[in-house]
């Protein structure tokens, strides 16, 4: 009897020890951001936003500069991610489904890569080619990075903005509960429209 109890306890410890949660989130600080102990090369401070959210911008893969204010009239998701982040990769199919459900005329999603040196243009291009991503990939400006990562540097971080350019919600990480809350935030963002 003791042997069977001992074997059972050992099995529980082995199974429990092997089932770890997803990688810990990355914290934002005055130190370079890291994801799973890989430096991203982005420095973040905890100061007040450097400029209004509508003026925060990103650079697309062709070098074009875009601002949040350009998307007024659409709900917007800005998803901060890296190719080597498992929960970031898990979130991509759901983001694709949101575009399919709501249409690109109503919802814009931009994947904001914050992978730093680990995610050079060739790595990102290879990743996007291998992974179905139905939205553009871009690189956020420092003001946008500082704003999003002001409290925590975990990724993915997903910012939902309504049709008027106001932040509805921000999510850190990805899982079933976040997926449900993200869907609700998108519905809310789509319903808000003051012309």
Indicate which CATH number applies to the domain containing 112: 3.40.30.10
Per the structure, the count of domains in the chain is 1
Q: What's the confidence (pLDDT) of residue 2? A: 53
Q: Say if 7 falls within a structural domain.
A: no
Q: What's the confidence (pLDDT) of residue 61? A: 87
Helix axes 176-191, 86-102, angle to 10 degrees: 40
User: What is d(CA 93, CA 79) in angstroms, rounded to the nearest whole number?
Assistant: 13
Per the structure, the complete domain to which residue 115 belongs is given by 22-191
Grouped pLDDT means (10 residues each) for the chain, 195 residues: 45 36 39 42 49 92 93 96 96 97 96 91 92 95 93 94 94 95 96 73
Q: Say if 1 falls within a structural domain.
A: no
Q: Say if 107 falls within a structural domain.
A: yes
Report pTM: 0.76
User: What is d(CA 22, CA 30) in angstroms, rounded to the nearest whole number?
Assistant: 25
Asked whether 149 and 28 are in contact (CB, 8 A), the reply is yes
Q: What's the confidence (pLDDT) of residue 67? A: 96
Q: Say if 85 falls within a structural domain.
A: yes
Q: What's the confidence (pLDDT) of residue 48? A: 57
Q: Say if 121 falls within a structural domain.
A: yes
Residue 49 phi/psi, 5-degree rounding, is -50, 135
Q: Say if 8 falls within a structural domain.
A: no
């Amino acid at each position: 009897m003791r042997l069977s109890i001992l074997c059972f306890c050992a099995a529980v410890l082995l199974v429990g020890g092997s089932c770890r949660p997803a990688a810990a989130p990355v914290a934002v600080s005055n130190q370079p951001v890291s994801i799973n102990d890989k430096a991203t090369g982005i420095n973040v401070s905890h100061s007040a936003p450097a400029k209004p959210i509508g003026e925060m911008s990103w650079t697309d893969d062709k070098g074009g500069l875009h601002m949040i204010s350009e998307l007024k009239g659409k709900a917007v998701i800005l998803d901060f991610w890296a190719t080597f982040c498992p929960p970031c990769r898990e979130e991509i199919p759901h983001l694709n489904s949101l575009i399919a459900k709501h249409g690109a005329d109503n919802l814009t999603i931009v994947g904001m890569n914050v992978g730093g040196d680990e995610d050079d243009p060739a790595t990102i291009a290879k990743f996007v080619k291998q992974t179905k991503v139905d939205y553009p990939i871009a690189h956020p400006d420092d003001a946008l990075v500082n704003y999003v990562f002001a409290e925590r540097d975990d990724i993915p971080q997903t910012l939902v903005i309504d049709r008027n350019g106001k932040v509805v919600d921000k999510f850190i990480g990805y899982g079933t509960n976040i997926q449900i809350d993200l869907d609700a935030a998108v519905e809310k963002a789509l319903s808000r429209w003051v012309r």
